Amino acid sequence: MEIIYKNDKLKDVCENLKLATKKYGLDVAKALHKVIGLLRKSENLYVVSVFPQYRLIVYPIDENNNIMKSLDNEQLMFIKCIKIQIEEVSEHYE
C-alpha cells in the first residue's frame, strides 16, 4: 500500500528509526516501524483493519489523492483503499 504523510516531520519520524527512537524510545519506535512496514506490505486497508492492536490515525485516499468518503459498506471501502495518509501517531504509542 502507498503511504503519504500529513507533513514532513511526521514522515521523518515514521521512516527514520533513529528519529523515532529519540522521540518515543526504542520499544515504541520499533513498534511504530513494524506497523509502517505492515502497511507498506499490505495489499489494501482491509488487510490491516483486522489487526486492531495497531493504532495510527489514517485516512483512506482515493485514486485522485482525495480522502475517501465513507461508503455504506465500510468493508468495501477498505478493500478499495490502496493508499493512506498517516495523520498522526496516536496516544497509544506515546
15 part of a folded domain = yes
C-alpha cell at 35: 506497523
pTM of the model: 0.71
Residue 14 or residue 79, greater confidence: 14
Closest alpha carbon to 3 in 39, 45, 53, 56 = 39
* Greatest Cα-to-Cα distance within the chain, rounded to the nearest angstrom: 41
94 part of a folded domain = no
Instruction: Provide the pairing of β-strand 2-5 with 83-89.
Output: parallel
Q: Is residue 39 very low, low, confident or very high in pLDDT (cuts 50, 70, 90)?
A: confident
47 part of a folded domain = yes
Q: At what angle do helices 26-41 and 8-15 cross, to 10 degrees?
A: 100
What's the domain count of the chain?
Answer: 1
Ramachandran region of residue 31, left (φ > 0), alpha (ψ -120 to 50) or beta? alpha
pLDDT digits (tens, 9 = 90+) for 61-86: 877 888 877 766 777 777 777 788 88
What is the extent of the structural domain holding 54?
A: 2-89
Residue 74 or residue 3, greater confidence: 3
Give me the phi and psi of 48, to 5 degrees please. -75, -30
What average pLDDT does this structure show over 50-62? 68
